[in-house]
Structure 1
Amino acid sequence: MARPPPPVWRRWPMADLADVSVIMPAYNSAATITRALASIAAQEVRPKEVIVVDDGSTDDTIERIKSMAGRMNGIHLRAFTQANQGAGAARNRAIAAATGTWLAFLDSDDEWLPAKLRRSLEVSEGGGLIMSSHNLFNIGPDGTETLNDSRARWLRDPDDPYRTLFLRGFISSSTVLVRRDAVVAVGGFDATLRSAQDYELWLAVLATAGNRFETFADPLLRYTLAPEGITSRIDRKVACSLAILRRHMGVLKRLPGPVVAPLLLRSLIIHYEAVQGYRARGEWGAALLQLVLLPFRTVELLARLPFATGERPDFLARLGPAQEVPLCAA
């Protein structure tokens, strides 16, 4: 009887590094980025490289990155600077420079738990997956830590993860491990979206990945909640969510299964979440306006449906200039 292959982490001697590139956008992150980088250096299975892209910071983010050059436990640390273009453009810059088979993402104010990469590689390589994600701990403004296990609970249909994500986005970028070739094939992040860029990219990847995706239950990320919480920037979120819906209803047409029903349900969810957000802020007029707009926007979506193609530009091909920063180990 053949022996099963060894666990993923045993395939790499401690002197070796996993074939993973970690992508980290940074903007005015001097207060948190050394902690985030240290959490990568402390991984049980270490990536071969970390690529940080400073997105036009005005603080000493770059100096903090330089201070970590000799403290990454053998991991190759690279840094780029560019004019401020947003997190999506910064991630695209790092993806273009990455050399790993796998991409992992960590925001500069978050932290991985030590088993993050080992478990993600076990699940992804062991299951022949294109992409995986996992649960996390939310860290509140007062430092309170709360388990958020909604990621694994939402994914109830492992045969159709695209439609599950289409209805209710649940994937935090800092929990993702994904094949680089899959991200490059769909064109990277849509940097023109001011919100939900990651949700839209994961939809694009899952549209081609089929069921080669899994969200597993381990909470392996400490995710820092923004002080303003979920009720901020509601108008921006609605506008971007509708733009994504207009694009991806064309993808739904290409995939097996219903089209109109999930389109209508997604429209309803977008407006319901907006109403709840405005109610939480006490803005009753804005909440009522969302209810009034719902039928008109839904009719507009149905009118667009016959012409929706689901085509997606190659955003990686649109990268602007950036400069790699020389880093010398101390």
Structure 2
Amino acid sequence: MSNATTNPPVRTADIALLIPVFKDQAGLERTLQSLGGQGIAFDIVIVDDGSPTPITAPAEAAGQRVVLLPMPANGGITKALNFGLAHIRAQGYPFTARLDAGDTLHPGRLLAQFEAFRDNPALQLCGCYVRYVNPDGTEVGIAKVPLASDKIRNAIHYRTAFFHPTVMFRTAVFDSVGVYNETFRQAQDYELFMRIVKRFETRNLPVAYVDYELADDAISTRQARKQAKNIVRACLMNFRPLYWGSYFGVLRRLPNLVLERRHTMKLKSLLRIVR
């Protein structure tokens, strides 16, 4: 595999697709193979988060330019995201989209999100549904999220309102709210989304444009308690005393702080608690 440029020229598109990766060359290659049919030009910005065996990438994928940004040492996903954002902002990309190594992008997602921003100049963040799949590709189900900005603004206090690998930002929003909070090694996306929804218009598209693979070694599985702790922390930082959802958002995550993930998932299934 030929190497993408590590000293990139000026951007060649309006959209940067940001993909952080650590020790997952195979997952990255699967993801790069899924990027066709987007209907719009974009640059692919890959951040190698200090992998022991350096990540390699082609100069192009799906006909789009690839930029590979190696970090000098492993810093964790939050630092990797900000490392990539620093490049994206410096290059002046108007839009920043997200995807994770190992996930599969469906045709048309980037164009659909770009059109949503084009049609609504006030829109700052746009996501969509995801399709959960097993490692063998078998569909588990479609995970839905609130669609309209007012619904998102309330729901985010007690349930998932965006799936991180599905979102596209208007890059200028980071000038207003800041980048990912590096004190959050987990749930950094949730904390950032809460900052954005408080001040700006957001939405989700009612289409599952991303396949998210359910794997036992996912961060949300291996570090479920730390994830829950940081979600509760973000909820408390953005607590609305007169809104019931703020209380429910904290209370429903308390089991995650003391129980193993398999037990909390069973409890949620029995009680049918929204994710």
Pairing 1:216-255 to 2, within 5 Å after superposition: 216-228=205-217, 232-249=222-239, 252=240
1:232 Cα deviation (Å)? 4.5
Higher mean C-alpha displacement, 215-224 vs 36-45: 36-45
Change (3 A) 1:231 1:31: closer
Pairing 1:174–2:165 present = yes
Structure 2 residue runs without a partner (length 5+): 1-11, 268-275
- Contact map agreement 1:23 1:105 (CA 8 A) in 2: yes
Q: Which has the higher helix share?
A: 1
Structure 1 residue runs without a partner (length 5+): 1-16, 253-257, 285-330
1:276 Cα deviation (Å)? 7.2
Change (3 A) 1:104 1:86: same
Secondary structure of the structure 2 residue equivalent to 1:25: strand
- Give the distance between the partners of 1:233 and 1:130, measured in 2 at CA: 30
Large movers: runs of 4+ above 6 Å: 281-284
Secondary structure of the structure 1 residue equivalent to 2:254: helix
Pairing 1:139-154 to 2, within 5 Å after superposition: 139-151=133-145, 154=146
- Give the distance between the partners of 2:214 and 2:266, measured in 1 at CA: 23
Pairing 1:69–2:59 present = yes
- Contact map agreement 1:231 1:280 (CA 8 A) in 2: no
TM-score, normalised relative to structure 2: 0.81
Change (3 A) 1:278 1:69: closer
- Contact map agreement 1:102 1:177 (CA 8 A) in 2: yes
1:266 corresponds to which residue?
A: 249
- Contact map agreement 1:24 1:53 (CA 8 A) in 2: yes
- Give the distance between the partners of 2:229 and 2:159, measured in 1 at CA: 16
TM-score, normalised relative to structure 1: 0.68
Query: Among 65, 74, 82, which residue is 1:84 paired with?
Result: 74
Query: Among 84, 97, 122, which residue is 2:115 paired with?
Result: 122
1:293 corresponds to which residue?
A: none
Pairing 1:108–2:97 present = no
Pairing 1:1-330 to 2, within 5 Å after superposition: 18-47=13-42, 49-60=43-54, 62-63=55-56, 65=57, 68-98=58-88, 99=91, 100-128=93-121, 129-151=123-145, 154-155=146-147, 158-209=149-200, 212-228=201-217, 232-249=222-239, 252=240, 259=242, 261-272=244-255, 280=263
Secondary structure of the structure 1 residue equivalent to 2:174: helix
What do the CA deviations read for 1:181-231 (whole angstroms, capped 9, x no partner)? 10232121122223211111111111110xx21111111111122225765
RMSD over aligned Cα, in angstroms?
2.8
- Contact map agreement 1:39 1:113 (CA 8 A) in 2: yes
Secondary structure of the structure 2 residue equivalent to 1:169: coil
- Contact map agreement 1:53 1:82 (CA 8 A) in 2: no
- Contact map agreement 1:231 1:277 (CA 8 A) in 2: no
- Give the distance between the partners of 1:281 and 1:203, measured in 2 at CA: 24
- Give the distance between the partners of 2:198 and 2:264, measured in 1 at CA: 36
Match of 1:217, as an amino acid?
Answer: P
Among the aligned pairs, what percent are the same residue? 23
- Give the distance between the partners of 2:245 and 2:98, measured in 1 at CA: 29
